[in-house]
Chain A
Amino acid sequence: MNPRNVITVILPALTVALIGTTIPFLVGFNQYYVLLALQSVIMASIALAWNIIGGYAGQLDLASFAYVGLGGILATMLMTEYNVTPWLGMFLGAGVSAALAFTIGFPLFRFGIKGVWYALSTAALVVILHEASIMFLGPFDYYIPFVEGWYYLRFRTWENLYYFSLVVLAFVISLNLYISRSKIGYYLKAIREDEVAAEAVGIDVRKYKLLALVTYASILGFIGYLYIVSQRTFSYNTFSGPQSVYVAIVGIVGGLGSVSGVFSAALILKIVEEYLRGFLGGVLPGLHLLLFGSLLIIVGILRPGGLSSLTDALTKKIRVRIQRWYS
Chain B
Amino acid sequence: MLPSPGLIFQSVLDGVFLGFLYSLIALGLSLVFGVMGIINFAHGDFIMLGSYLVWILANGLRSDPSFMSLATVPLFFVIGAAIYMTIIRPVLGKEPLIQIAVTVGIGYVLQNFALMMFRAEPRAVQTTYLNLYLNLGVVSIHLAKLISAFLSLLIVLGVHYLLTKTWVGLAIRATAYDREVASLMGINVGKIFLLVFSLGIGLTGLAASLWMTFGQADPYIGSSFGLLTWVIIALGGLGGVSGLIASSLIVGIIQSLTMTLVSPTVSLAIPYVVFIMVLWFRPQGLFGKV
Contact = CB atoms under 8 A, between A and B. Distances in A.
Contact of A131 (B41, B98, B113, B269): B269
Contacts of B115: 285-286, 289
A272 B106 CA distance: 20
B93 to A, nearest CB: 13
B101 A248 contact: yes
Interface stretch (A86-94, A119-127, A142-150): A119-127
Contacts of A294: 105, 109
B135 interface: no
A252 B101 contact: yes
Main secondary structure of the interface of A (DSSP, over half): helix
Contact of A127 (B234, B269, B279, B280): B269
Contact of B108 (A245, A256, A304): A245
Contacts of A128: 269, 272-273
Which of B107, B231, B275, B276 has most A Cβ within 10 Å? Answer: B276
Interface stretch (B10-18, B51-59, B156-164, B260-268): B260-268
B74 to A, nearest CB: 25
A301 B90 contact: yes
Contact of B113 (A127, A245, A290): A290
A113 B283 CA distance: 8
A293 B39 contact: no
Contacts of A131: 265-269
A111 B116 contact: no
A284 interface: yes
B279 A121 contact: yes
Given A117-B234, A128-B273, A297 B109 contact: yes
B23 interface: no
Contact of B223 (A110, A132, A241, A248): A241
A301 B91 CA distance: 6
Contacts of A115: 39, 96-97
B289 interface: no
B283 A121 contact: no
Contacts of B109: 290, 293-294, 297
A290 B116 contact: yes
A241 B125 CA distance: 27
A230 B275 CA distance: 34
Given A60-B101, A293-B105, A300-B98, A112 B283 contact: yes
A286 B279 contact: no
B96 A116 contact: yes
Contacts of B119: 285
B101 A300 contact: yes
Which of B106, B112, B223, B227 has most A Cβ within 10 Å? Answer: B112
Interface in A95-137: 104, 107-108, 110-113, 115-117, 119-121, 123-125, 127-128, 130-132, 134-135
Interface string A247-284: 01100100010000000000000000000000000001
A289 B112 contact: yes
B276 A124 contact: yes
Nearest to A134: B265
Contacts of B99: 300
22 contacts: A60-B96, A60-B97, A60-B100, A108-B280, A111-B283, A112-B283, A120-B275, A121-B276, A125-B272, A131-B267, A131-B269, A135-B263, A252-B97, A285-B115, A285-B116, A286-B111, A286-B116, A290-B108, A294-B105, A295-B105, A297-B105, A300-B99
